[in-house]
Structure 1
């Protein structure tokens, strides 16, 4: 399915939901730092990424909410394998549509806002994947520069979400959010071979 159609459909669904009682709608941007942990070889450091989209809180009680998002997220990581004769040092950029499902718990008001913590799961659907780096076989090296490898990446991803932060109230309905979260992947990234990808995000957003 075309990702533009997915995003338009999500916007319509969130807009309709915003008319319901006890629902808050917002926008989010999340700079992130991601890494890959392969079964063979080793992680070669973190790479930067970005996530943006819609977010919504459905309040079960005054300080407890069912929280969800619809986000386009670019993550990745770097892997180093083998030696100088048969090895590779590659960086992956993976793009997913993510739909986090979590429970958000808030404190009583502290100053002009509230602290919150959240815990849940994040299903993801792959919409793109690219590779950069060098692969050496029998002393012959081949360079890759943002080449598509979408067919080698599993179509679905599932991860555990844990995070927290602070929501600052500008007025009775508008608030700015800032926090940190860990998105810990536990499904394999590659269709052949085992590796998990995870990231830490700086969570920034605004509820209207």
Structure 2
């Protein structure tokens, strides 16, 4: 019984650190995640989502213990896939568009120990490659993408200087994917991520 009590006290201390941050605190968070992306718009095509492993790094600058500004560099895979008939022939198309994205998010830290966070804001993405079934179509796609980001996360503090972040991040594209199209085609993206949070 005593061992159980000691273990409970130890675990409470281990996971019960306050996540309060003072003004000027900077955190750096490398992340890796599993993403799912698709197109949305008024296209009549029956598209389905594609998945990928994405990665990047985020940084938070704290204004107080509740609010920080988050930005970073994210390598993201977006696109869609389609299966259907072209006459008597079955076709399978998979479009992949890869972006380097820079988000600029307000990050609200909440809960009694500020371990939860809710972030939102705009982003700009720069297209690095685009292909359909391996064929280059980068010249047909817009070189930049503006989007709206949103996400929620939870930090598990390992020490005063290091935490583990588990979060979900979503992005709704606000600009068209192709340069020219008879349809509205924009990106929709979501990812579950794990990251290491380093307090500098």
Query: Which range, TM-score by smaller chain?
Result: 0.7 to 0.9
Give the drift of 1:85: 6.5
Output aligned runs, 1:125-140, within 5 Å.
125-132=126-133
Give the drift of 1:131: 0.4
For structure 2, list consecutive stretches of 5 or more residues without a partner in the other structure: 1-23
Report the TM-score, using the length of structure 1 for normalisation: 0.76
Q: Which has the larger radius of gyration?
A: 2
Output aligned runs, 1:58-69, within 5 Å.
58-69=61-72
Q: Deviations over 1:15-61 (max 9, x none)?
A: xxxxxx42111201121000012533324211102321211000011
Q: Deviations over 1:156-208 (max 9, x none)?
A: 01111111020111111211111112211121001111311111110221111
Q: Alignment length, in residue pairs?
A: 174
Q: Distance in 2 between matches of 1:38 and 1:79?
A: 15
CA RMSD in angstroms comes to: 2.2
Name the structure 1 match of 2:180.
192
Cα distance 1:201–1:88, how it changes in 2: closer, same or farther (>3 A)?
same
Name the structure 2 match of 1:203.
193
SS in 2 for 1:120: strand
Report the TM-score, using the length of structure 2 for normalisation: 0.79
Name the structure 1 match of 2:48.
45
Cα distance 1:154–1:82, how it changes in 2: closer, same or farther (>3 A)?
farther
Q: Deviations over 1:129-158 (max 9, x none)?
A: 0102xxxxxxxxxxxxx1111101100011
SS in 1 for 2:115: strand
Give the drift of 1:87: 9.3
Output aligned runs, 1:10-49, within 5 Å.
21-49=24-52
| Equivalent pair of 1:162/1:183 in contact (CA under 8 Å) | yes
